[in-house]
Each structure stands twice: as C-alpha cells, then as structure tokens.
Structure 1
Amino acid sequence: MFARTLKGIRAALWPLALHFWYKYVLVAVGSVLVLLLLYGINEVIKKTTINFPASVCLMLLMFGGLSLSSWLFGEDKTNIVLRYIDIPFGFALRWMNIYFTPPFVTLVLSDKVSVAEAFTIAAVFVVGYLIGFGIIAYFTWGLQILLGTYKTDMAQDEETQSQESDQDSNQIDKIKEQIEDKEGLNNEDDPHRVPHGVQTEEIEWEDKVKSFLLQWVDFMVYGILFWVGVVVYYTTGYEMPVQLSTAVLLFRVCMLQPLRWRRFLHPILISFSVSLLVFYILSVIKGQNFFSCIRHYKTGRTYLHLFDANQYTAWPGAGDFFISLMDISIVSLSLAMYNYRKDLKRYFVSIAPPIVLCSFMSFFIYPPVCYHLGISASRSLGFTGRSVTMALGMPLVIALDGSTQLMAVTTIISGILGVLCGDFMLFKMFRVRKHDFVTRGVTFGVNCGAVSTAYLIDIDPRAGAMSSLAFTLFGTLMIVFSAIDPLVRVVQRLVGW
C-alpha cells in the first residue's frame, strides 16, 4: 500500500507543478497586470470631471475590442487572444461569489435599524419584487406581440427551436459554463465530479492518489496560510492573513455541497456567517474588541488607494483584497457579452426597452418611495441596486453614497427567491407562457441577476442566454447613470440630500 501511494505521489508531481504554475503564478501575474491597467485607467479618469468606475470602463473597452477583432480578423484569431486573457478572467469569473462577502461580513457594523424601518424595508422589497416581475414580464411580452416576434403556440416555437438547435448548441455550452462560473456553480473543483464521457469504472490506485492531491492541494495551501495567519495575528495584531484564509477555506468547503443544495444554502450566506463566528473566537482569545477586528476586515485601502498612505493609514484587510479582485471579475463580464453578441443583435429590440424601463424605475422611483416611507436616505439609495448583480451593483451604490450592505443582502435574496418562486410568479400569477423564453429570460435577468440566471441555464438554456444579456446590460446602464453627476444629484435630492 505504501509503495503504491508513493507511486501515486510521484505520478502527481508533474500535474501538481502545472497546477501551481497556473493558479499561483500565471493567474497571479495576470491578475496583477489587470489591476495595474485598471489603476492607470482610474488615474486617467481622475484627471477628468467624469465619475466612472475604471472596471466598467475596461469591460466596455474589452467588449468593443474583442468584437472589432472578431470582425476584422475572424473568430479563430480572436480566440487565440481569448486563451491568454482567460487566465485571470476565467479565475475571476469562477470565484466571483467570494468577492461579494465583504458587505455581509461588515454588516454587523451598520447603523442600527428600528423595528419599524426593518418591516418597511421588507415590505418595500416584497412589493417591489412582485411589481418588478409583473411590469417587466408584461412589457416584454407585449413588445414581442407589437413587433411580431412572439411565438403564438408551442408547436411553432418547437419548429423554430429545432431549426436553430444545431447552430446554437455550442453557444449554449459556452453560456452554461460562463454563468456557472459567475455564480461559483461550476463543478470543476468538485471532488465527486466525474468528467463527461468517463465511466464510473474502477480507477487505478495511482490515479486515485493523484486525483486526491490535485483536488485538495488548495485546501492544504490555505490551511498553512491560516496557521501562519494565526501566528501573525497573535504576534503583530495584523488580521488580514488569517481572515483571508478563513474566508477562502470556508467558501471552498461550502462549495463541496451538492449543486441542488447550493441554491438554498448559498455559499455566500453560509461562509460569511461561519467566518464571523471564527473571527469572534479569535478576537476573544486575543482579547481584542470584536468590532475593531471587523473594522480592520475592510479598511478601504484597495489597489486604487494602496499608495495613498496619508488618507488610508491602516493596512489593507481581507475585504479590501476581495474588493480589488472583484474589479477583475467585472472586467471579465466582457467575455460573456462577447460570447452573446449574436443574441444581443438578434433580440436587441426585445431586450433594450425593458432594461431601460427597469433602470428608470430603479434609479428614480425606488429611492424616493423608500425615503417617504421612512427608510433612511442611505438605505433608500441602496435600493437602486436591489436587482443589479452584485459585481455591478457595488460600484453603482458606492457612486450614489448608498448602503452597500443593504444592496448586497437584497441582491442575494432576489436571486435566491427567483430560483425558489420565480417560475410560479411568472407562469401562475402573471400567466406568461412557458415557451416564451425571451420574456422569461429578460424578467429573471433584470429582477434576479446572476444567481437565477444559473438556474435558468439548467432548465431553459435560451432563457438563460436572454437573462445573462439582460442583467449584464442592465447593470452596465445603471453604472452609466451613476457616472452622470447631474443625475446622481437629482436622485440624492429625492431622498433629502
């Protein structure tokens, strides 16, 4: 047995070396290069009077550049470029969800909410959710009828679908991979995953050892980082290494649960809750105030302010590290938009008007309604990002000086509710026909974001494609609105600022 184990370890050495080279060298170098580019773009933007996130700017530039390259040189040559830029961007998409945890961790530092305001927030969320579903569904449905693109019966739709299935099959596979990556739902790192086309046949002992090492080596690395972080924390008081390794380890553990469970026990919700417990235990043992420990989790010293030691005196925390990487994931959405560019062109007239309508409602109706119902100004502005996927909702709400904590919570809940009861609302309450994939996709995309889009991809790939396009364009348009200072001032005045 021992000899066979050694043989398996020797067989795993080269794959392990490649694993470390890719994840800990190429991805790291690629991510640093993207951050340097974003830093340069941000410095240029600061020289202007425009308030626009560098991450969204680079996302749009990359989408335009890839589309232009495909038009000029063809997809084959463009795919060569994609293979290289996918190194940092693919990783960022795959683990995007963990970058959303900082607002949840720092939720304990938020101002206290009265019971009355808490119930008001819940009521506005529920009523707004239902109204948003209904308005977008009926508007998209009616728009298709008006334009003559609506399929009146299932047979007609099935005929069209069969004609398009061959040319769309490859794109659907790309869509599924991209959306699963965004939500961290890709089973690539699942130790129980069996590759497609491989029987469950008996595996050689050496292969079992190699597979085990490759699947758990990242846990070993972050486990070592955790104990090193514990020593650093108790000797110097710097929390970042131990907090970062704790967050990553717990999120990876949550990703081990079966896919169907993750829709209900979302890794963000579970991992951040347990992380807070670990941070509390560590702070008690050290004798540190727990709230001080959490304040150091996100100091604001991200890559954009790393060299601004005069304004940001504290060292970066784990939350600052995640927020910096989240900007890379925002840029990586350009790959998804590039993959869906044909659908975007084909269904643009059915997608664009509902997105513009939802953007107007979110930007100009949600905040004043919330404010006049007794919700604070900051939280009222935070509601603008209620249905914007978190990667784009963060810079949106920050630009408005709104509550990112409220935005984060409502966004995740919107996505989970879309999975649990979105179809019931759409098909039973609002009587949308199940074969209407455009209405289904657009409604889910602008109301539920990327979480529900991953769900749609499994059961209705065409609706999933529409949903992905919808939430990406919706979030981008909201970011554009937030970059226009006169519009920002109008919205802020609507909530008494």
Structure 2
Amino acid sequence: MQAANKNSSKLVRAWFYVPLGITIILAVNFGVDSIFYKFNVSFPASVTCMVLLFFALIASESLLGTHKTRKLVNIIDVPAGWSLRWMGIFFTPSFVLLPLSPPIGIFEVMIIIAIFVIGFFIMMAMAAWITRSLQLALGVSRRSRSQRAEELGRQTPDLSTGDLNSPVNAVEALNPTTVLTQIPLPPPKAELWAARISANLDVAIFVGLFAFIGIPLYYSTGYAMPLHLAVNVLAWFGALSVTPKWKEYLHPVLVSSLATVLVIWALAEIRGDSLTTTLHAYRTGAKYIQLWRNATSKQDLLPGAGDVFGTLLDASIVALALPMFQYRRELRTHFISIVIPNVAISVGSLLAYPPLCYACGISAARSLAFASRSLTLALAVPATVNLGGDVNTAAALAIISGILGAVLGARILRWLRVPDDDYVTRGVTLGVNSSAIATSVLLRTDPRAAALSSLSMSLFGTITVLFTSIPPAAAFVRGLVGL
C-alpha cells in the first residue's frame, strides 16, 4: 500500500505538476522571445530567462527572506528538477539529424577532426591554467578548499537533481529498515514485483506509446512524432543501462542517437520512406515558439520528436538558474576567476579558429562554425547565423565538445594537475569548453562546480553572441575567411 501511494504521488507529480510547470516556463520564454522578435534581437530567450530567474531569486531572498524564497525554489524545482534530470536526451536531435548535413570530402573531415581535437585540448588547458592562476593570484584558492571540504561532507543536495529512474529511489519506500516492527513485512514476491513495477514504470509507458499509439498512427496517417518520441526515449533508457565500465566511452547521447537513427530508418523503409524523409519528419521546425507565434494562421505543420526535445531543452536551460542560485555565494566570490577566462577564450575562438581552419582547407562556412565550437547549442546557433556559418557543423561541434568534456573532462583536468577539490577551475573549464552537457554531468557529481559551469557557459555564450551581433565585428571575422 505504501509503495502504491508513492507511485500514485509520483505519477501525479510527473504527469500533472511537471507539465504544468514546464508550460509556465515556456510561456515566459515565449513572451521574452516575442519582445526580442519585435526588436530584431538575435539572442536566445531561454538563456535570458535563466539569468532573469537567477536575479529574481536573489531579489526575492533580499525582499521576502530566506524562508519564503526556499518555498518558492521548491515550487520551481518541480518542473526545473525534472528538466535537469532529463537534460541529456534533449541534445540527441542534433546527432540524429547529422545525415541531413551537406556532403563533405574525406580530406576535409580529417582536417576538421584534427583541428577540433587539438583545439579542444588547448582550450581546456588555457581555461584551466588561467582560472587556476587567477585564484592563486587573488588568494581565494585556499579559502575555497575549506569550503569544498564542507561540501564533500554534505551528501543531500537541496535540489532534486538525482536520477529519475534510480532503483534506489524506486524501492526506498520498501526498505525494511523503514518499516515499524509492529507491521508485518510484505511477502518477498510482492516486494520484488512492486520494486520492478516502480523502477520500470516509465519504460512501460513509452513501450505502450510505441506499440499502441505510435505504430498505428504512423502507418495509417504518416504522422511520426509519437513513434519517433517513443523510440528516442527507449533508446535513451537502453543507453543508460550500459555498464559503468563501458558508459565512460559509450556516452548515452551518442549511443541513443545512433540507435534512434537505425530504428526509425528501418521503420521508414517498411512504410516506403527514405531516411531523408523520415528525418525531416523527426524535426519539422515546429517548436513551441513557431506554433504559438503562428497560432492564428492556418498551417498544417505539426511538431516532430526533435521539436519536442528542442522545446524541452529551452526549459532545461532556464532551470540551470536553480543550481546557480543554490551556490550564489561561491559565484560572487569567484566572479573575476569566471569572467576573465570567458572573455579571453571567446575572443580567441572568434579570431583564431576561422582563419586557421580556412588556411588548412576547410570551407569558409564551416570555418566560421568553429567560432561557436564550445558554445551551448542554444547559443551556438544564433552566433553561427550572425557570422554566416554552417549551422549543422556548429551544432555537431557543440554537441561533440560537450560529450568529450563529459567523458574525458575529469581525466584531462587530472593531467593538467588541477586538484580534485578545486571546483572553481573544474566548473569554469568545463563550462567554457563543454557547455550544458558537461554541466548536466556535474549536476550529479559536483553540484557546486555545476553552478560555476552554468554561469561560465552562459557568460561565454553571451559574450560570443554579443560580439557576433555587432555588424563591424561580424564583418571582420567573415573577412578572415575571405567573405
């Protein structure tokens, strides 16, 4: 009975309160985007709302007090915590859609890989050493170490950034140590089945969506969103089930994206559709902003699974304000150590990457895309558009940078002799080089570093977008590649 009550409460939270909260976040996003659209401002509303929410919570703490602000944070955390836990899957569309990219020669591919890998390690080293040197020069490193010791001793975070489908969470209510001795323990089989149902409830829901809604709808009407959505989510669950030993190299974003492409391709062939056709159905361009902006006009464009994930990614970007607020004091203390590396690497990326890539034989459009290599996807796209670069290349570079940081970031920082307790250098370095994907990993492993990473990636992206939004600056960068 206790497990059933907990499951019903979880379902109400997941299928009512979370969608309601996400809708409110998206509505505010849409309002900000509408203002930007009216004044022809090329800047993502999600990043703006993240910054606005962060400062709004700080103002609330000053005006309303800590107790009321904590209640407000707990309310916001219902949709925000959910979106942060699922953040990784929202990056998969960029990889799923890679087959739609323009053809490219093998020689150019090899040059792109070489410049990307070498540049990634150089930028990681620059960010780490600049940040570390600033801390030592400002005398804040020793103080941070004692604060970090307190953080490591605290096991329960304030925000719900744990694993959505963790078996530990699923069977918590069934732990015999929590049951009063007067109440008889449930039979072992009942306990086992309850734990299995609780742990696999989400999988069962999406299997049902695939079999009873997605398949019939796709093969009768051609509308693919429910089918593609179920395939993508089930592929994500499968990628998460990879053993930790292999998961270090087989990142869930890569594994689930590849599995999604193969499965939806096979399903499309059965219907007689090509891979190109089904990928265009996977993302039609009908995100919430386009749908709401054209709500009064007659349009037949329906969202695809990629549009759903893109919509939810906007909510996740806004939700990053919560870990930033949780560690606001650390952000204030280390502000200089965050700003200087971000400005230096942003300017360096704009001035160094495009001419270097172009001189090595990469096309002008793809060379310009390298300027946005390590930006989070929400900021990489407008920055690349401002420069006139190849958006598909920029998206792929941004996602791969994030995955490399998530997989190899900790190891690279050890090679650079960055102490494990230096959360400032870890957060800034990964935020500048690997953006939101690495931040989503830090949310589980090092929340304080995740807060610095969130601010760092936002500041880095904002600086880059601002530079590319200035016509003379954008023209100068384009001139470096002969445009």
Alignment pair present for 1:247 and 2:232 = yes
Q: Secondary structure at the match of 2:97?
A: helix
Cα distance in 2 between the residues matched to 1:239 and 1:376: 35
* Consecutive unaligned residues in structure 1, runs of 5 or more: 1-9, 152-156
How far does the alpha carbon of each residue in 1:25-62 deviate from its partner, in whole angstroms, 9 at most, with x for none? Answer: 11112222222222222222222142222212211211
Cα distance in 1 between the residues matched to 2:201 and 2:148: 43
Aligned position for 1:190: 166
1:238 to 201, 204, 223: 223
1:22 to 2, 13, 17: 13
Question: How many Å apart are 1:77 and its aligned residue?
Answer: 0.8
Distance change >3 Å, CA 279–CA 436, structure 1 → 2 = closer
Aligned position for 2:130: 139
Contact map agreement 1:330 1:392 (CA 8 A) in 2:
no
Cα distance in 1 between the residues matched to 2:340 and 2:355: 23
Distance change >3 Å, CA 162–CA 85, structure 1 → 2 = closer
Alignment pair present for 1:46 and 2:37 = yes
Distance change >3 Å, CA 256–CA 494, structure 1 → 2 = same
* Consecutive unaligned residues in structure 2, runs of 5 or more: 178-184
Alignment pair present for 1:218 and 2:194 = no
Aligned position for 2:291: 306
Question: How many Å apart are 1:81 and its aligned residue?
Answer: 1.1
How far does the alpha carbon of each residue in 1:230-261 deviate from its partner, in whole angstroms, 9 at most, with x for none? Answer: 11111111111111111111112222334554
Cα distance in 2 between the residues matched to 1:434 and 1:216: 35
Cα distance in 1 between the residues matched to 2:126 and 2:220: 57
Contact map agreement 2:365 2:388 (CA 8 A) in 1:
yes
1:78 to 69, 74, 77: 69
Cα distance in 1 between the residues matched to 2:228 and 2:421: 47
Which AA in structure 2 matches 1:187? D
How far does the alpha carbon of each residue in 1:450-489 deviate from its partner, in whole angstroms, 9 at most, with x for none? Answer: 4445666777776565445433432343344455455444
Question: How many Å apart are 1:85 and its aligned residue?
Answer: 1.6
Contact map agreement 1:12 1:213 (CA 8 A) in 2:
no
Contact map agreement 2:368 2:384 (CA 8 A) in 1:
yes
Cα distance in 2 between the residues matched to 1:455 and 1:31: 22
1:9-408 aligned within 5 A: 12-149=3-140, 151=142, 161-162=145-146, 165-166=149-150, 170=154, 173-174=156-157, 181=161, 186-191=162-167, 204-205=187-188, 206-227=190-211, 228-259=213-244, 261-306=246-291, 308=294, 314-398=301-385, 400-408=387-395
TM-score, normalised with respect to structure 1: 0.83
Q: Give the fraction of aligned pairs with identical amino acids, expressed as a percent.
A: 37
How far does the alpha carbon of each residue in 1:134-154 deviate from its partner, in whole angstroms, 9 at most, with x for none? Answer: 322332333334334455xxx
How far does the alpha carbon of each residue in 1:326-384 deviate from its partner, in whole angstroms, 9 at most, with x for none? Answer: 11111111112212211111111222101111111223322232233222233223223
Q: Secondary structure at the match of 1:111?
A: coil
2:401 to 390, 400, 414: 414
TM-score, normalised with respect to structure 2: 0.86
Question: How many Å apart are 1:422 and its aligned residue?
Answer: 4.3
Distance change >3 Å, CA 162–CA 128, structure 1 → 2 = closer
How far does the alpha carbon of each residue in 1:108-140 deviate from its partner, in whole angstroms, 9 at most, with x for none? Answer: 011111111101101111221222123223323
How far does the alpha carbon of each residue in 1:290-338 deviate from its partner, in whole angstroms, 9 at most, with x for none? Answer: 2111111111111111153879753221111111111111111111221
Contact map agreement 1:11 1:210 (CA 8 A) in 2:
no
Distance change >3 Å, CA 64–CA 436, structure 1 → 2 = closer
Aligned position for 2:180: none
Contact map agreement 1:50 1:484 (CA 8 A) in 2:
no
Distance change >3 Å, CA 47–CA 93, structure 1 → 2 = same
Cα distance in 2 between the residues matched to 1:70 and 1:339: 12
Aligned position for 2:435: 449
Cα distance in 1 between the residues matched to 2:448 and 2:76: 27
Distance change >3 Å, CA 438–CA 288, structure 1 → 2 = closer
Q: Secondary structure at the match of 1:374?
A: coil
Cα distance in 1 between the residues matched to 2:165 and 2:449: 27
State the superposition RMSD in angstroms: 3.3
Contact map agreement 1:38 1:54 (CA 8 A) in 2:
yes
